[in-house]
Amino acid sequence: MPPTQPGGLGQQINSQLIAFLLQRNGVEAGATPLPLAMADLNGLTIPAQPLVATELNPSDPSYDTNGPLVPVSRLNRLTPVTNAMLLNPPADDWLIWRRTHENLGHSPLDQINKSNVSDLEAVWTWSLPSGANMMTPLVHDGVLFSYSNGDVVQAFDATNGDLLWSYQRELDDGVRPSSKKGVAIFDDKIIVPTSDVHILALEAKTGRLIWDHEIDTQGETDFQLKSAPMVVNGKAIIGMTGQTSVAGGNFIVAIDLKSGEEDWRFYTIARPDEPGGNSWNNLSLEERTGGSVWNPGSYDAELNLLYFGPAPTYDTNSLRVRSDAPGVTTDALYTNSTIALNADTGELVWHYQHMPNDQLDHDWAYERQIITLPVDGVMRKAIVTGGKEAIFEAVDAATGDYLFSIDLDMQNVIAEIDPRTGAKTLTQQSIPEPGQVLDGLSLNGICPDALGARNMQSSSYNPATGILYIPMQDTCINNLTGRRWQKYPDASTDGLWGMVKAIDLETREVIWTKRQFAPPASGNLTTDSGLLFSGSVDRYFRAVDQSDGSVLWQQRLDNSPSSYPITYRVDGKQYVAVATNAGSFLANNMERTAGINNPPSGATLWVFALPSN
C-alpha cells in the first residue's frame, strides 16, 4: 500500500496500521511494540481470542449497541440445528430455502400486518459483492447468514447488521463465480456449494472451514451448482446444472455431513441400460444432455421422499425424428418430470413427466410444493408445480398419480390436456421441423417465449387460506416486430409486463390478477398476517394485500431484488430481508424487453422492520 506506490507508506506506518487493526478487532495490546520489518511481522501469530461468555442485558447501563460484545454474544447463543428443527422450523427462524421442506414460501409471523406495514422502514443494509446473486438469507438464533457473488459467506447480527465473520472461497483462475440460491444450516455447520463444484462445511460460530468435498464430475468441466443444498437425515443434497457439452446429463448428489463424503447420487438423464433408458430415441449416453437441477428439492418425512424437477434437454434436434427401434420413444426421461427419490438411498420411487420431449425450453424445473388439498372430495397429499407455460399441475405425493392441471391461459403451445392422465397435445405451430434452428425468428408467435410466463421467481402458498400466489410475466413477444403478442389483445394491459395471480387450489379458480409495469424479480413471500411480499425488475420491493393484490407499502431499492425474500423475528421483533444485485438472466432479459434501465453493478442486503417507538 498504497496501490499506486507499493511500499510507499514505509515500515513504521505499516506496523502502526497493523497494530490499529488488531486493536479494533479485540486483540489486547502488549508492552512490546510490533516489529517494523515485514520479515519479522511474518513470523508472528495473532493470539486466539476467547468468546465472551457472559450474556448481554439491554437494560444494563454497560450495554453498548455499537460495542464488540454484541456480535460475540449472538454467536455464543447460537445453538445446533437439529433434524427435528428442519422438519418443523421455529417460527422466528428461516432455516431452509423456502422456510420449510414443503417449499411453501410462507411464514407464520404476523407482527407486521396490514394495519402497520405502511410504517415499514429500512433498519440496516449491507453492501454485497457486485454480480448476479439469487441469495436466500438464513436466520437462526438472531444470526443471519448470507451467500453472495464471488462465493462470499457472511454472518451478521440479524438485528443491526454487525458483521460477525466472513469467509470467501478462493477460486482458481478461469473459474467464473456462479449465482446460487444460498447455503444450508445443520448442527453447528453452514453447508456451502461453491463455484468450483465443491461442498464446504463451515463452523457456524466462526466461519472456519471444517471439511471440503470436491464433487466427482468424471472429467466434465462445465458443471455448476446453482441451487442451495437441502439437509435431510444428516445429508446435504443438491443437484447439478450442466450445459450442452456435459455428456450424459446431470445428477443429484447426497453428501454425508459427518464425513464430508458422497453417500449417493441419482442421474437425472436415464442411462441406456436402466429404467427409462429407452426414452432417448436410441441415443448413446454421450449424446444425451440436460436434466439440470436449478432449485432445491422438497421433502416429505412421512414418506421419506425427496422431490426434484430436472430441466429439459439441450439438444432437441436429435429427438425430432423417432427411431424405428421397437420400444424406443422420444420422451427423454427424466427431463421435465417430478421425480420422487428415497431420501436414504437416492433410488427412484416414482416419476411423472409433465412435458415429454420439450422442444421449446419450456422448463418444468421449479419448486415442488407439498400441499394437502381436497381432490374430488378426498384429501390428497399432492406435489404442486408449474412450468413456463404457466400450467400448474398436482400429482399424488406417494404414487405420482396425476390429479389435475390449471392452465392460466398464458400459452398457445398446448392445445389439449387429457383430464385423466395430464397428457398434452401440442399445437402444430409449436412442433419444430427436423433441422430447424430454434432462434428468435423461428419461434415467432410462440407464447410464451423461452423466458416463460413463469420462471425462477417462486410461488408462495398460504395453508390457512388455500391460495397459491404466482409471480408471472407476459413474454409472448412477436420477434419480428418487437411488440407483445397476446392471445386476447387488450389495450388496457399495454405496457404491463408483470403480474401476480392468486389461485384457489381447492376450486382451481383464479381469485385475482394484478398486472404491473415491471415483471417480478423475486420469489413470493406470504405471512399469516395476510401480506404478500415481492420484488420487481424495476427495483421496487412491495407488500400487498393477499385478499386482492392492492399495494400497501413499497420501497425502491438500489438494484433489482432478483432473490428470495425472508422474514424472521429476534427478541420479539419481526424483520423482512431481501437482496438486490446486478440481475439474474431472467431479470436482465426482461429489463431489455420492458425498457428498464437498472445499474450495471451493485448489490445490497436490505433489512426492514417497524419503527421501535
Backbone angles phi, psi at 417, to 5 degrees: -125, 125
Average pLDDT score over the chain: 90
* Mean predicted confidence (pLDDT) in 305-323: 94
pLDDT in tens, 185-219: 999 999 999 999 999 999 999 999 999 999 999 88
Percentages helix, strand, coil for the chain (3-state, rounded to 5) are 10, 35, 55
Name the helix (H) or strand (E) containing 566: strand 566-570
448: preceding bond cis by omega (within 30 degrees):
yes
pLDDT digits (tens, 9 = 90+) for 91-139: 999 999 999 999 999 999 999 999 999 999 999 999 999 888 899 999 9
Total domains in the chain come to 1
Of 59-73, 310-324, 521-535, which has the strongest mean pLDDT? Answer: 521-535
For residue 484, give every residue at least 6 positions away whose Cβ sits within 8 Å of its Cβ, in sequence order, or none: 474, 476, 477, 478, 494, 497
pLDDT band at 60 (very low <50, low <70, confident <90, very high): very low
Tell me the average pLDDT across 430-442: 73
- pLDDT: is 48 or 604 the higher one? 604
Report yes or no on 367 lying in a domain: no
> 38-52: per-residue pLDDT in tens?
778 777 777 665 443
The closest alpha carbon to 135, from 603, 609, 608, belongs to 603
Does residue 35 sit within a domain?
A: yes
pTM higher than 0.95: no
Pairing of strands 230-232, 241-242: unpaired
- Split at pLDDT 50, 70, 90, the class of 70 is very low
Q: Is 46 exposed, middle or buried (0-12, 13-18, 19+ CB in 10 A)?
A: exposed
Q: Which residue has the higher pLDDT, 440 or 300?
A: 300
Check if the beta carbon of residue 241 is closer than 8 Å to that of residue 223. yes
Q: What's the whole-number mean pLDDT along residues 443-448?
A: 75
Does residue 59 lie in a domain region?
Answer: yes
**Domain contains 483:** no
Within-domain flag for 535: no
| Whole-number pLDDT of residue 22 | 81
The predicted model gives 550-561 an average pLDDT of: 97
Least confident of 247-256, 276-285, 437-446: 437-446
Reply yes or no on whether the pLDDT at 72 is more than 80: no
Cell triple for 252:
443429484
* pLDDT higher than threshold 60 for residue 442: no
Would you say residue 47 lies in a domain?
yes
SS (H, E, C) 231-280: EECCEEEEECEECCCCCCCCEEEEEECCCCCEEEEEECCCCCCCCCHHHC
> What pLDDT was estimated at residue 481?
58
Domain containing residue 24: 10-69
Q: Which three cell numbers stand for residue 320?
A: 425430432
Whether 85 is covered by a domain: the verdict is: no
Q: What percent of the chain has pLDDT over 90?
A: 71
Could you report the per-residue pLDDT of 157-187, keeping only the tens digit for each?
999 999 999 999 999 998 989 999 999 999 9
For residue range 214-256, what is the model confidence (pLDDT) as tens digits?
999 988 888 999 999 999 999 999 999 986 667 788 999 999 9
417 beta partners: 424
Residue (of 2, 39, 36, 40) closest to 19 by Cα position: 36
Domain contains 33:
yes
Q: How far is 210 from 204, CA to CA, in rounded Å? A: 10
| pLDDT given for residue 242 in this prediction | 86
